[in-house]
Structure 1
């Protein structure tokens, strides 16, 4: 029987999940407000939030390893409390003007570039290596649940309480993480470093390149993200529109994929990961590849087939991510946890910027089914590549 996860990790996970839910609701609500001003404003807000995260995440990882993840998170969560309160005041005074929404997105993007690597490194700072896969799988399942609940909850709250109250609730969520960070002490955090900043930044890339297995694992992470993330966010909605499913039915397919991922992550959080990481990742990606191909074949009205196949996609990717995440974080030297997490975030963010646009063009010029088949093919190649993970790390 598996040993219980540390109480410090469970308390931190509860607080960070609450904060993630509040943030998800807030930014969905602000996305609705931006969309009401037109597509250009909505794109501006998304760019203002996403571009700083992409450009600064490696800097954030270096800072976290230099000053300590807990110290940095105390600063970033405090900054987000102030951003949310300032946003609430601005919304109350002027309403959701385009420049206010863009400023909030920019501030959030800059702060999250520093907080994401630190947050990503916390499991290994609070949990023993033996329990790390279970801890990360539990976090993965809760994150998927938040993503599943954030949009509908945000839609309800926009109508019932309004944007300023939602912004205040976001501040409360970030304050909850602050309260937990004030009392916990990561056993493996570090003190301030006297190393020059430029050397700390370049050292992260050097460690990733020299640590056996990391380059391959990060490359695989990026390839999987490039073709999996657009499935639910872009291609399934386009397929639903082409097939005449309607918004509600299309939402069911997206939710089915999330449910499959949550279920797989919960199983891993109870049982732990398989001994042969590469084979487990390969099997998960092979299942996801088949599931995406079945979703593509469902175009034309086979909604039940699409929903069932989406569950397979979610379960397959859930198994793969639940094994790949601990593999990457567990391979990182303890002195470079946040920097490796920063490279992981960059590996996930950068390819999606390119792949989403390419897949969108393919879906428009040919069909959503053709774009989904392309994703299935790439996932099949990734499944073959994943079989070498264990050999690379041994």
Structure 2
């Protein structure tokens, strides 16, 4: 399957490692700045919403962005494929920056209010629907296929860095100048990504892939049909859906309830989450250094399956130290499977379909998987943490079974 044009191959040297490629590093700098800005934004939004209304109203504001993101995500994939991912990411960052800075100015001049926060969340969610598929499709256009696993590792390190730096930076902004200052910091960080993205070179699609006068609806249907009939992508999407559905509930709401029942408190939960982040970060570093792991399909399936056992075991660990160790194992295995699945999505997809493929994967993770959180909370209230963690682990394990049972996916390799 041909996934890059001859022109792309000439523009993007195959032999240069991604971590030494200035083009990739400019993309990584833009992505990191944008992700740190996102983390600051979410903290500022939560703080401002709590100060402006009741807890229920604050929760509603925080949830507003999820609806347009879920409804528009597939269409966003079509937009990314039609206009090109770099153009879409630049436009999205400009809109997000303007919206955040506008609300920062409004809060600075008029004080807190729920309606501008709700509008901001709504705009952010709608823009995310096109931003996220484009972000997922961009790496394949800035480097060679053989470097995509390394780029996934670099992207994972950027995400971990953003989560570590973003929250304290947002807290500092709130402490110095309230939510308006924090929003201002978020907007400026997002703005930093724009000139970096403008300087990034991207490989062009082959003319045959971009030609045609089809409508957006036909493009959307064509993308879904492409995934459904693909021998690797179809089972890979199902494996991702099952893995995320079984993983999200226990590691979010379930962990908070477990920490409360065990008497670990917020600090204990923080240590467990730190263990998970350390494991995921270590895998990202490994992929950044190694660049490629053999037998990617079977390794991803095994990682999902073994990681599910670690998720189930987490509910039966009696102390914080042991739970942090198990969480580190969960981070290692889920981080490995996530990075490999992401790299396989990138390398198995035709470039002209990457935006739509990324949109479907994002919808699965951000649309279906979060449904497990309220279900997990209700189930834990009825049956306790142990049985629910085990049931969730079983769902997650099904994802590994699907990956290992599909011959084409099991034998899938990352390019050299």
TM range (shorter): over 0.9
Counterpart of 2:376? 359
Instruction: Please give the secondary structure, in 1, of the residue aligned with 2:302.
Output: helix
Verify the 8 A CA contact 2:280 2:335 in the aligned structure 1: yes
Counterpart of 1:312? 329
Mapping for residues 1-394 of structure 1, pairs under 5 Å = 3-5=16-18, 6-36=21-51, 37-188=53-204, 194-298=213-317, 301-389=318-406, 391-392=408-409
Mapped partners of 1:120, 1:309: distance in 2: 30
Which digits, 9 at most, give the CA deviation of each residue in 1:211-261, with x for residues without a partner? Answer: 221111011111111122233321111101111111111111112111111
Which digits, 9 at most, give the CA deviation of each residue in 1:174-210, with x for residues without a partner? Answer: 2222101222231135879743222112111111112
Displacement, 1:156? 3.6
Verify the 8 A CA contact 1:278 1:388 in the aligned structure 2: no
Verify the 8 A CA contact 2:239 2:399 in the aligned structure 1: yes
Q: Give RMSD over aligned pairs.
A: 2.0
Point out where structure 1 has 5 or more consecutive residues left out of the alignment: none
Verify the 8 A CA contact 2:246 2:394 in the aligned structure 1: no
TM (norm. structure 2) is 0.89
Q: What is the count of residue pairs matched by the alignment? A: 391
Larger mean CA deviation between 218-227 and 228-237 belongs to 228-237
Larger mean CA deviation between 56-65 and 187-196 belongs to 187-196
Point out where structure 2 has 5 or more consecutive residues left out of the alignment: 1-14
Mapped partners of 1:124, 1:339: distance in 2: 14
Verify the 8 A CA contact 1:273 1:323 in the aligned structure 2: no
Mapped partners of 1:320, 1:149: distance in 2: 25
Larger mean CA deviation between 184-193 and 62-71 belongs to 184-193
Verify the 8 A CA contact 2:243 2:396 in the aligned structure 1: yes
